[in-house]
Amino acid sequence: MAVLNRMDWYDLARTTNWTPSYVTEDELFPPKLSGDFGLPQNAWEKYDEPYKQTYPEYVKVQRDKDAGAYSVKAALERSRIFENADPGWKSVMKAHYGAIARGEYAAASAEARMMRFSKAPGMRNMSTLGCLDEIRHGQMQLYFPHEHVSKDRQMDWAFKAYDTNEWAMIAARHFFDDIMMTRDAISVSIMLTFSFETGFTNMQFLGLAADAAEAGDHTFANLISSIQTDESRHAQIGGPALKVLIENGQKAEAQKRVDIAVWGAWKLFSVLTGPIMDYYTPLEHRKQSFKEFMEEWIVAQFERALTDMGLDLPWYWDIFLKDIAQTHHGMHLGAYYWRPTLWWNPAAGVTPDERAWLEEKYPGWNDTWGQCWDVFIDNVVDGNMAKAYPETLPYVCNMCQLPILGTPGKGWNVKDYPLEYKGRLYHFGSEVDRWVFEQEPERYAGHLSIVDRFLAGMIQPMDLGGALQYMGLAPGEIGDDAHNYAWAEIYRALRAAKKAS
Amino acid sequence: MSETQILKPLKTWSHLAARRRKPSEYEIVSANLHYNDRDPNSPYELDPDMFMNTWYKKNTFGTSLKHDDWNAFRDPDEVVYRTYNLMQDGQETYVFSLFDQFSQREHDKALDARWAGSLARFYTPARYLFHTVQMASAYVGQVSPASTITNCNYFQMADSLRWLSHTAYRTRELSLQFADKGFGVDERKYWETDPVWQGFRELMEKTLTVWDWGEAIVVLNLVAKPAIEESVLRKLGEAARHNGDTLLGLITDAELIDSARHRRWVGAFVKQALETPGNLEIIRGWIAKWEPLADKAIDAYCALLPDVADAAASAKAATRDFRHSLGL
């Protein structure tokens, strides 16, 4: 015998629960931080993480992973991939880094909450490693874009976005703060790791990595697939916690947390990831449509994860399945139209070829979303740019903080789902958003959406200029069409050809 | 808008650009990362009065330990994630090479049975103690008002898992050589009932329930950790060497390298804290409040530790020397 095998000592390293006597168990693990499921420490000692790793294995494997990702970056630093990239692809990177980098860093503290407050010793050790992972993801996703700050002022938002009141960032913070920054240890494990990281980050990172590889951005492709290998370990922290809860008669509480987190994740993805995949990524580099990615990663794989766990599909699953073909088109149209309020330059993504692709992937697109784009395109072709920018704010949902929208055309179905709570009237974009609010109104009731703030006079002057200032967006940062409307030339030519004939 | 200046690209993040010097990788990826300080009324983007917002308003931003700009804190070692792994993979390779080498030389066979009994009592139960340091560091990290301070605590949390892992490894190995000493079985009993450990258990259970960030960071890093390190690493290492246990001495030495790094950031932290008038008295007050409990823990542990002369007095003096070196 020379060196012991890992499993010879692994269990000892996670046998760390003891009975406190100088403080009470509730003082050591306050229920509001620990998870108020009424389960004592020994119920949690059955927790068994499926992905086992020791400290020495961790530092070795992670050192090697970093060597890989950083050496690809170093090798390609002078390759001018960024300079030569399609402007739509640059926008993908800007949106991704801004909305993700510091959110990942914040997740280190969510992991630290599980580490400190979980009553399951295995979870405490796994979250220690998970916490380190999230420091990694925050730091890499700041270090990599930093290379580009001197080339493009919008890249500053890879850092700055989280400090601002930019509307999409309010939505991102509202979601992440709800599922990971303000929950007890067990809820974090269910909402962040099981509900969000199992399906959604998989899709963002692997889906985007596929598109990045297609687009020739190997640094980015390598970076985010390397990140995903960590996610696939620490995303498994929540599963065994769900098992303990279900075995102890807490299925309903567990299910509720899954349902809340999945819906919020879906809404955030509909505004950030949907437009990226179906409109910004250059057509020739699109691997699959957003809906197809959703069907693969969320519908098929996550459905299986839920049922394997003994949970039900969220009660709103039929609404969700319908929405994955629709919502993000509205989010894109809205985000594009309000493009001065973005820190990236959205690609319109509506050339005739792109429209043909959209029609193929989303039958009926031309009769619905296409009709709105027709009007917009006519204005651009006519040089009527005043009509191509917004003057007012859209109405936003008091839960997801995103515009309340519907699908245009014959089936126009936009609807407000209002709720009066303690004398204040709230507006929601869907039955599900309203349901989330109703589960724990005191978590959300005192929050003001950006429109609430506007109406309260907190944004001055009350026009687009005032709104931009409030959002921290100055000229040089504010978004405009990624391709400077070059795509409109095709429509100009088509119109000229039509006239000539 | 035509009169407005159009912002040009900068050489670094706008929050670092004003200083006109090239930032290090450490600063680019470590400084000002928390976003929960943007709205004093609502650290998180939810109801300002919901539980966790109240928690942070009270315990992080409401502590009496004040500084105008905690974000100015810099870790003197500038540890970032990737250098942490480089460093600790190297350290672990060293420790595991010790395990390997000493196992091949049948080190444990040569240990005295009486010393093995001492290991079961004074060494292997430390896995529980190291775990409390892991937990306490995780708490201080998550409520720290600056990401640069948070990161030092998170790396310290991971280092505590490292110490715990070495202990678990040796526990199993010792259990193979000494089947009758309760290795791998009795640690919890020692930790919960043996007088040797009750001081540390009381100290850490109480440390773990300090919620105010200022007090928590002071108690953990200036009082509790130094007491643990001077007794359960340094004095135990000395006892090991006096009992032919070269391996344990080398392990605790390796762990003390982490501890020395921790003390460097703690030193920088105290220096920064003392820039604010009144903080010296606040910190001294907390030390005065907690030092008796730490001393009691050192006494209980060191009094019975075999073959180290004046262990308790020397360990207590070392904790004070550390604090004195920081002007406390």
Contact A149 B10 (CB under 8 A): yes
Average of pLDDT values for A31-40?
94
Locus of tokens 């500038």: B78
With a cut of 70, say whether residue A106 has pLDDT above it: yes
Q: pLDDT band for A1, please (50, 70, 90 cuts).
A: low
Beta strands in chain B (DSSP E): none
What local confidence, expressed as pLDDT, does residue B4 receive?
65
Contact A138 B172 (CB under 8 A): no
A160 touches B: beta carbon within 8 Å: yes
User: Which of B45, B173, B184 comes nearest A177 by C-beta?
Assistant: B45
Distance of CA B291 to the CA centre of its chain: 17
Q: pLDDT band for A133, please (50, 70, 90 cuts).
A: very high
Average of pLDDT values for A47-64?
96
pLDDT in tens, A210-226: 888 888 888 888 898 89
Residues 69-98 of A with CB under 8 A from B: 70
d(CA A276, CA A272): 7
The pair of three-digit structure tokens given for residue A312, joined into one six-digit string: 């039900």
What local confidence, expressed as pLDDT, does residue B3 receive?
55
Contact A112 B154 (CB under 8 A): yes
Q: In this structure, what are the phi and psi dihedrals at residue A87, rounded to the nearest 5 degrees?
A: -55, -30
Q: Which of the given ranges, A81-90, A295-304, A461-470, B133-142, has the highest pLDDT on average?
A: B133-142
A23 touches B: beta carbon within 8 Å: yes
A447: which chain B residues are within 8 Å (Cβ-Cβ)?
Answer: 42, 45-48
d(CA A178, CA B197): 40
Average of pLDDT values for A453-460?
95
Average of pLDDT values for A461-485?
95
B164: which chain A residues are within 8 Å (Cβ-Cβ)?
Answer: 13, 16
How distant, in Å, are the alpha carbons of A124, A180, A237, A254, B58 from that of A115? Answer: 4, 13, 11, 20, 22
Q: Residue B35: beta bridge partners?
A: none
Contact A474 B7 (CB under 8 A): yes
d(CA A57, CA B161): 12
Q: Residue A420: beta bridge partners?
A: A425
The answer to whether B213 and B59 are in contact (CB under 8 A) is yes
What pTM was estimated for this model as a whole?
0.97
d(CA A447, CA A453): 10
The pair of three-digit structure tokens given for residue B227, joined into one six-digit string: 């007491």
Contact B47 A445 (CB under 8 A): yes
Is the bond leading into A461 cis (omega within 30 degrees of zero)? yes
Residues whose CB is less than 8 angstroms from the CB of residue A249 and which lie 6 or more positions away in sequence, other chains included: none
The answer to whether A107 and A192 are in contact (CB under 8 A) is yes
Residues 460-499 of A with CB under 8 A from B: 465, 474-477
The answer to whether A220 and A261 are in contact (CB under 8 A) is no
With a cut of 70, say whether residue A368 has pLDDT above it: yes
The three-state secondary structure class of B145 is coil
| Distance from the B327 Cα atom to the nearest Cα atom in chain A, whole angstroms | 31
For residue B169, count CB atoms less than 10 angstroms from its CB and return exposed for 0-12, middle for 13-18, buried for 19 or more: buried
Average of pLDDT values for A466-488?
96
Contact B47 A446 (CB under 8 A): yes
H or E, element range at A417? strand A417-421
CB-CB neighbours of A489 under 10 Å: 12
| Distance from the B5 Cα atom to the nearest Cα atom in chain A, whole angstroms | 7
Contact A18 B192 (CB under 8 A): yes
The pair of three-digit structure tokens given for residue A424, joined into one six-digit string: 């204040």
Locus of tokens 């970056």: A73
Mutate to test the interface with B, among A23, A36, A63, A260 (most CBs of B within 10 A): A63
How distant, in Å, are the alpha carbons of A22, A260, A447 from that of B189? Answer: 16, 42, 49
How distant, in Å, are the alpha carbons of A273, A392, B44, B63, B68 from that of A284? Answer: 18, 35, 40, 55, 52
B135: which chain A residues are within 8 Å (Cβ-Cβ)?
Answer: 115-116, 124
Contact A475 B81 (CB under 8 A): no
Contact A13 B127 (CB under 8 A): yes
d(CA A399, CA A444): 8
Cα nearest neighbour of B104 on chain A: A2
Amino acid (one-letter) located at B63: T
A56 touches B: beta carbon within 8 Å: yes
Among A204, A203, A175, which Cα is nearest to A295's?
Answer: A203
Query: According to DSSP H, which parts of chain B are helical?
Result: 14-17, 25-30, 51-59, 81-104, 113-118, 126-143, 147-177, 187-193, 195-207, 213-218, 225-228, 236-242, 246-273, 279-303, 311-325
Locus of tokens 């407005």: B4
Q: Greater confidence, A223 or A426?
A: A426
Contact B192 A21 (CB under 8 A): yes
The three-state secondary structure class of A470 is helix
How distant, in Å, are the alpha carbons of A59, A218, A226 from that of A67? Answer: 12, 15, 11
H or E, element range at A320? helix A317-323
Amino acid (one-letter) located at B232: V
The pair of three-digit structure tokens given for residue B207, joined into one six-digit string: 């440390």
d(CA A259, CA B189): 42
Q: Among A94-98, A112-116, A497-501, which stretch is predicted with the lowest mean pLDDT?
A: A497-501
The pair of three-digit structure tokens given for residue B109, joined into one six-digit string: 């066979």
A316 touches B: beta carbon within 8 Å: no
Contact A13 B165 (CB under 8 A): yes
d(CA A128, CA A54): 11
DSSP for A90-155?
Answer: HHHHHHHHHHHHHHHHHHHHHHHHHHHH-S-HHHHHHHHHHHHHHHHHHHHHHHHHHTTTTT-GGG
A19: which chain B residues are within 8 Å (Cβ-Cβ)?
Answer: 192
User: Which of A131, A150, A177 comes nearest B9 by C-beta?
Assistant: A150
How distant, in Å, are the alpha carbons of A431, B51, B76 from that of B46? Answer: 20, 10, 36
Residues whose CB is less than 8 angstroms from the CB of residue B313 and which lie 6 or more positions away in sequence, other chains included: none
How distant, in Å, are the alpha carbons of A11, A111, A128, A213, A245 from that of A53? Answer: 11, 16, 11, 30, 24
Low-confidence ranges of chain B (pLDDT < 50): 1-2
| Distance from the B28 Cα atom to the nearest Cα atom in chain A, whole angstroms | 7
User: Which of B1, B44, B103 comes nearest A475 by C-beta?
Assistant: B1
Average of pLDDT values for A78-88?
86
Contact B81 A139 (CB under 8 A): yes
A227: which chain B residues are within 8 Å (Cβ-Cβ)?
Answer: none
The pair of three-digit structure tokens given for residue B29, joined into one six-digit string: 């990826």
A159: which chain B residues are within 8 Å (Cβ-Cβ)?
Answer: 13-15
The three-state secondary structure class of A427 is strand
With a cut of 70, say whether residue A151 has pLDDT above it: yes
The pair of three-digit structure tokens given for residue A346, joined into one six-digit string: 């959205």
ipTM: 0.98
DSSP for B200-253?
Answer: HHHHHHHHTT--SHHHHHHIIIIIIHHHHIIIIIIIHHHHHHHTT-HHHHHHHH
Average of pLDDT values for A399-408?
95
Residues 110-129 of A with CB under 8 A from B: 112-113, 115-116, 121, 124-125, 128-129
Mutate to test the interface with A, among B139, B142, B149, B191 (most CBs of A within 10 A): B142
**Chains A and B: how many Cβ contacts under 8 Å?**
242
A62: which chain B residues are within 8 Å (Cβ-Cβ)?
Answer: 81, 85
Q: Mean pLDDT in chain A?
A: 95
Contact B85 A59 (CB under 8 A): yes
With a cut of 60, say whether residue A487 has pLDDT above it: yes
What percentage of chain A's residues is helix, strand, coil (to nearest 5)? Answer: 65, 0, 30
User: Which of A12, A149, A182 comes nearest B12 by C-beta?
Assistant: A149
Share of chain A above pLDDT 90, in %: 83
Q: For chain A, which domains are there?
A: 31-500 (1.10.620.20)
Residue B126, CB-side half-sphere exposure with 13 Å CA sphere: 27
With a cut of 70, say whether residue A2 has pLDDT above it: yes
What local confidence, expressed as pLDDT, does residue B1 receive?
43
| Distance from the A382 Cα atom to the nearest Cα atom in chain B, whole angstroms | 23
- The alpha carbon dihedral of B163, A15, A42, A248 has a sign of positive
Mutate to test the interface with A, among B46, B203, B210 (most CBs of A within 10 A): B46
- The alpha carbon dihedral of B85, B86, B92, B96 has a sign of positive
pLDDT in tens, A240-256: 999 999 999 999 999 99
Locus of tokens 């600056």: B146
User: Which of B4, B46, B49 comes nearest A174 by C-beta?
Assistant: B46
User: Which of A12, A108, A162 comes nearest B154 by C-beta?
Assistant: A108
